Structure 1
Amino acid sequence: MTGRDVHVLSAASALPGPPVDNVTLARRFGMDPLWEQWVEAFIGTRSRHLALDLESGKITSSLADLAEEAGRRALDAAGLTGRDVDAVVLGTATPDRLMPATVNIVADRLGIDGVRSFQLQSGCSGAVQALDVARQILLSGDARTVLVLGGDVIARFYDVGADLRKAAPAELVNYVLFGDAAGAAVLSTEPAPGSARVRGLFTRLVGRGREPGAVLEWFGPADRDSTRPAASEDYKAIEEHVPVMAQEVLAELLDGLGWRPEDVDVLLPPQLSGRMTKLISQRLGLPSAVDVSVVDDSGNCGNAIVFLQLERALAGPVGAGTRAVGISIESSKWIKAGFALEGNG
């Protein structure tokens, strides 16, 4: 069905526990105090929220817990309940279990039933992939309101007993880059005060022939004693490829909409680390754009990060007629994703 618009009515987030700063991490893992200064200078992330008690190693919040909280807040902000939802989509790299799907646990808790549900397994760009699926459902004419969720609990891969002084860089970087969170957005074919129209959106796999930039293992009984690290990150490859991909996403969005760089009022840049995000924003060269960035204080919280940015953007710089561009790059097998919004009057 053509001639329909899709609108983001609201966005919300849920963060577990108080922020954990670099001093706390350094103290917990026996790192030299200078390590904390190195993290701030070269990574740029000051703090993150963890769904984990660092002392005991116990998980304090599941992905379902956080996604339920974020989803409820987003629905409340839109003046809706679970009964108003026609479909629900979740993007995550870290579902609570292989089965049942976390999206269905969250739907049950929110009183959503008798609708389509989808769970997408992906890295950071899974948030935009989930928005894409929701948009296609709405454009089909078969639904009026879709709840979109995204989040990750990466701290479950932490080994709180690890001696990080002996860890390889590919493993060490995960302890400082990432945080835990969930986010949600309500998409609808009907605009509302404070909403934004989706002007463009795409995701594209570009990983043919490229080695993965990030790996999360899922160990079972047969291989749980493997010596492979549960999580690893090729940060050099990410530093090399992500800025270039971000420029490509921006160019494609602007070309598709006929926008010039100076037409963009708000930028939601990739949220990899505080330092890299700033460098990418500068490289994109949008002269009038206000950055909406949260990674300095939340860490890279995977599939939640876009929703944290949307929540802040809708509450602040995205107003009537404002044009916003969001960019998300997934490094595990290299996916480019982006979206463009325009504030409703």
Structure 2
Amino acid sequence: MTAYLAGVGTSLPGEPVDNAKLARTLGVNEEWIDVFIGTRTRHFARDLDSGEVRWSLADICAEAAERAIASSGVAAEDIEFVVMGTATPDHLMPATVNHVADQLGLDQIPTYQLQSGCAGAVQALELGRTLITGGGYRAGLVIGGDVCSKHLDLDRDLSGAAPSDLVNYVLFGDGAGAAVLTAGPRGHRVALRRVLNRFTGLGREPGQVIEWFGLADRFEDRQAVREDYKAIEEFVPVIAEEILWELLEDLGWSTDQVDFLLPPQLSGRMTRRIARQLGLPGAVEVSCVAETGNNGNALPFLQLEDLLGKMTEGQRALAVAVESSKWIKSGFALEKE
């Protein structure tokens, strides 16, 4: 059996924030953001001036899901499960996926929330595909999203911060995406041929840590977000190549049979570097991070939304995603029927 992508929807909160606005707010150098990160704009669920959180993760995930359902040709009452991947849930409990289901008016169906970084969206696709192909379900929602800005202290003096610390304030954005999976070709009629999801971090230090502070430790002198950007720059391109060739070998596809490449979306600069290194000159690159910021589990859906408007019958696409928190290989393969 095959699972199909019938529709995709996304949500980016608020107006885009450019590097000039971000630099003024944080008191950092705009040119450094342009050169070191290479991301031009991003979206925040939080108002940079007041610090107010204007949208919850559940809010933007529900909006993305509504758009995915509308584009799929599947009625909301025919959705039989919801799977969500996120690294930044609104609460430890209740699970954010259940707030999303509530906003969508869905009830009496299974819901699943996967706690993961950039690979969470792919893990959600894998679970959704399994429920379709092996669980007897006919249609379901797969969602990915993150609100990273709530973890950043906007009142902190960053004038003397090291680049490895500053990167967390300029790399990330907020957003959400969703896809409707079906048991037969509906809507966009794109077959999900393979999904790769594999832990590869044995004995390797995490590349990223996000703390969750409780009553006992919220006043400890720890950063909420820590990023080993040097390790990410070193390992992500290598892991991305491994994912690409593993998918090609598993599928029996040659490099010239891939029409579209969805590379890892770390930052504008890193994504350009990795796309060149993957070496698929005949494939059209589908990237978004330079305009959206790194919004974690929303990224594959933002890429998919762009891709589905371009694919024609018989065309193929490969997506590659790397999670650096404890190093996960992930990716998927698509074919338009």
Confirm or deny a common fold (TM above 0.5). Answer: yes
Instruction: Find 1:109's aligned residue among 99, 103, 113.
Output: 103
Aligned residue for 1:232, secondary structure, equals strand
- Structure 1 runs of 4+ with >6 Å offset: none
1:6 is matched with which residue? 3
Shift of 1:193: 4.5
2:223 is matched with which residue? 229
- Assess if the C-alpha contact under 8 Å between 1:154 and 1:180 holds in 2: yes
Partners of 1:92 and 1:291 in 2: CA distance: 25
Is 1:322 aligned to 2:315, yes or no? yes
1:225-259 CA deviation, whole Å, 9 max, x = no partner?
A: 01110001100000000000000000000001111
- Assess if the C-alpha contact under 8 Å between 1:195 and 1:314 holds in 2: no
2:23 is matched with which residue? 26
Query: With structure 2 as the length reference, what TM-score do the two structures score?
Result: 0.98
Is 1:134 aligned to 2:128, yes or no? yes
Shift of 1:162: 1.3
Partners of 2:312 and 2:224 in 1: CA distance: 43
Partners of 2:101 and 2:135 in 1: CA distance: 22
Q: What amino acid sits opposite 2:10 in the alignment?
A: S
**RMSD of aligned Cα (Å):** 0.9
Shift of 1:42: 2.1
- Assess if the C-alpha contact under 8 Å between 1:47 and 1:296 holds in 2: yes
**Match runs of 1:49-60 below 5 Å:** 49-60=43-54
Instruction: Find 1:143's aligned residue among 104, 123, 137.
Output: 137
Partners of 1:164 and 1:26 in 2: CA distance: 11
Is 1:239 aligned to 2:236, yes or no? no
Q: For structure 2, list consecutive stretches of 5 or more residues without a partner in the other structure.
A: none
**Match runs of 1:198-213 below 5 Å:** 198-213=192-207
Shift of 1:179: 0.3
Instruction: Find 2:65's aligned residue among 64, 71, 93.
Output: 71
**Match runs of 1:123-202 below 5 Å:** 123-202=117-196
2:301 is matched with which residue? 307
1:156-204 CA deviation, whole Å, 9 max, x = no partner?
A: 0111111111223332101111000000000111102422101111100
Larger CA deviation: 180-189 vs 72-81: 72-81
**Match runs of 1:81-96 below 5 Å:** 81-96=75-90
Instruction: Find 1:259's aligned residue among 253, 256, 281.
Output: 253
Aligned residue for 2:242, secondary structure, equals helix
Q: What amino acid sits opposite 2:298 in the alignment?
A: A
Partners of 1:294 and 1:92 in 2: CA distance: 19
Shift of 1:113: 1.3
1:341 is matched with which residue? 334
Shift of 1:262: 1.1
2:91 is matched with which residue? 97
Aligned residue for 1:8, secondary structure, equals strand
Shift of 1:108: 1.3
Q: For structure 1, list consecutive stretches of 5 or more residues without a partner in the other structure.
A: none
Q: What amino acid sits opposite 2:7 in the alignment?
A: S
